Structure 1
Amino acid sequence: MAKARTAVVTGSNSGIGLGIARALADEGMNVVINSFTDNEADHALAAEISRDAGNDTAYIKADMSDGEQCRALVAKAAERFGAVDILINNAGIQHVAPVEDFPAGKWDAILSINLSSAFHTAAAAVPMMRENGWGRVINLASAHGLTASPYKSAYVAAKHGMVGLTKVIALETAEDPITCNAICPGYVLTPLVEEQIPDTMKQYNLDRETVIRDILLERQPSKEFATTEQLGGTVIFLCSDHAAQITGTTISVDGGWTAL
């Protein structure tokens, strides 16, 4: 029986990252989930995924704003499982403000976590993938990696940078059995977004359906959220042999947002 592949998913103890980690675990892969905390709940989550999927899931703490910790995450995953075959760069934060009021510290943090972390983890993982003769790097960019919105200067800059980094890694690994692609979601229904809906209903004095359709999904033509399960499925496809010649590109899961 072939040895299970190992996937590292950054920023994955909730939301999109957790959905992707569960999808990979359900495929029988070893999975490393990650965040900057290190508490009982983090390790319990890894144990729960293992029980549900019948795989081996581990939690490894790493602060994705710190380049050395990003590289150490990959090294620790390889030490635990023998290799890192799949790298999912998902970690991210957000802050909204006009350029002239945007705090410099927030700019630096967003660029570090949303972009530089992917550079550091890929730099650590790609040599392992070459040595093992197979690899997948998948970067979670955003519709904001292909277009822009006001007041999101750091986030948009980082996600555009993620798309550029994806292309470079793809070209540098083009003759290897390694691919690198970016997934660009629009609005995704995560617990964080779900929590915002009641407050938005109160703010605009609108019902839930109207808030979702006309406020939150104003720029998403389908008027439906993407789901973490759909993003997990997209990752599984990109990890499959069917996607072996898909590299250096973006896959939009945005309900038509970037078609406008």
Structure 2
Amino acid sequence: MLQWLRKPSDDPDATEQPSANDPYDLRGQAAVVTGSTSGIGQGLARALAMRGCDVVLNGLGDPAEIERTRSDLEASCGVRVRYHGADMSKGEEVTDLIAYAKGEFGRLDILCNNAGIQHVEAIEKFPTAKWDQIIAINLSSAFYATRAAVPIMKAQGRGRIVNLASAHGLVASPFKSAYVAAKHGVIGLTKTVGLEVAEHGITCNAICPGYVMTPIVKNQIADQARTRGITPDQVIKDVMLKAQPTKKFVTVEEIAGLFLYLVSDLGASCNGTAYSVDGGWTAQ
């Protein structure tokens, strides 16, 4: 784990709190991270909590496991952690998620639109219902959440919106028509919102990771193997990591490092921009 994500004490009972004069000190701030019950979203929620930020988690999973994650994060980081089970495919529930965060914490400083799903299939066989679901969860949910969050942030005079796009928001791959379309849309939304809120102390940026070994990627391996008629090992070597010059999966900690910069005061002049964390994929 990167040094800035470590607990400042070797005492296993010590809470994970930032030190004084830390430019990444987020104490007194509140955040919503969608799709944060696993994978990248959970890692980003933990990074925020470890810097002293109160967090609302959101996502799918076993209720008992979600509660264990929530209570562990709250206890280990010494912050308030809540959970809201909004269905990201339903705009009214996304809007309620933002209202819930404001009601619980009295403010909303950081919004991370991370929720996403994937489906791999040739365009002529791509299920229309799956297209609608991916566009709703991967793109429209970011619109609804941002629409609800911006008035709160404007009233505060400060806010940070970070959208988790993808390398596929910048380049395409076959058999991912809905995902690629949605992620390109996320970057367009990011640019537009960044321009609209720039004079209000608010920024809106996108992070575009390459392949990270998360549950959604693990599921893709089997789908890609089926669609392409190759083995799972070949998918990893010849499809996924072939595009990344480092030949390594991106880590959640590496994404969290950029994320914390963008939500801090140091990132105040970063706005309307898509940042690649992809091992050089999109440099080609």
Question: Structure 1 residues 249 and 112 mapped into 2: Cα distance closer, same or farther (>3 Å)?
Answer: same
* Distance in 2 of aligned mates of 1:154 and 1:251: 21
2:67 corresponds to: 43
Residue 78 (structure 2) pairs with residue 54 (structure 1): yes
Q: Is the 8 A contact 1:213 1:224 kept in 2?
A: no
| SS at 2:32 equivalent | strand
What residue is the counterpart of 2:120 in the other structure?
96
Match of 2:143 in 1: 119
Separation (CA, whole Å) in 2 of partners of 1:96 and 1:49: 33
In structure 1, the partner of 2:240 is 216
Any idea what SS the aligned residue of 1:187 has? coil
**Deviation for aligned residue 1:20:** 0.4
Match for residue 13 of structure 1? Answer: 37
Change (3 A) 1:86 1:113: same
The answer to whether the Cα contact below 8 Å between 1:90 and 1:140 also exists between their aligned partners in 2 is yes
SS at match of 2:84: strand
TM-score when normalising by structure 1: 0.92
**Take 2:196 and 2:54, find their aligned partners in 1: how far apart are those partners?**
26
Unmatched runs of 5 consecutive residues or more in structure 1:
none
Q: Tell me whether 1:168 sits opposite 2:192 in the alignment.
A: yes
Structure 1 range deviating more: 3-12 or 160-169: 3-12
Aligned AA for 2:161? V
The 8 Å contact of residues 36 and 64 in structure 1, kept in 2 or not, is answered as no
8 Å Cα contact 1:181/1:250 also seen in 2: yes
1:142 partner letter = S
For the pair 1:128 / 2:143, whether they are aligned, the reply is no
Identity %: 54
Asked if 1 retains the 8 angstrom alpha-carbon contact of 2:33 and 2:41, the reply is yes
8 Å Cα contact 2:37/2:60 also seen in 1: no
Query: Residue deviations 1:99-148, cap 9 Å, x none?
Result: 11111100000000000000000000000000011100000000000000
Corresponding residue of 1:33: 57
Q: Distance in 1 between matches of 2:180 and 2:220?
A: 21
* Superposed displacement of residue 195, structure 1: 7.2
Alignment of 1:80 onto 2:99: no
Selected match of 1:140 from 164, 170, 183: 164
Separation in 1 of the partners of 2:183 and 2:236? 24
TM-superposed deviation, 1:85 = 0.8
Structure-1 residue corresponding to 2:92: 68
Task: Give how far 1:190 is off.
Answer: 2.0
1:252 maps to which residue?
276
Aligned to 2:3: none
**What do residues 163-195 of structure 1 show as CA deviations (whole Å, max 9, x unaligned)?**
000001001001110000000000012245457
The gaps in structure 2 that reach 5 residues or longer are: 1-19, 21-25
Structure-1 separation of matches of 2:47 and 2:184: 26
SS of 1:95's partner is: coil
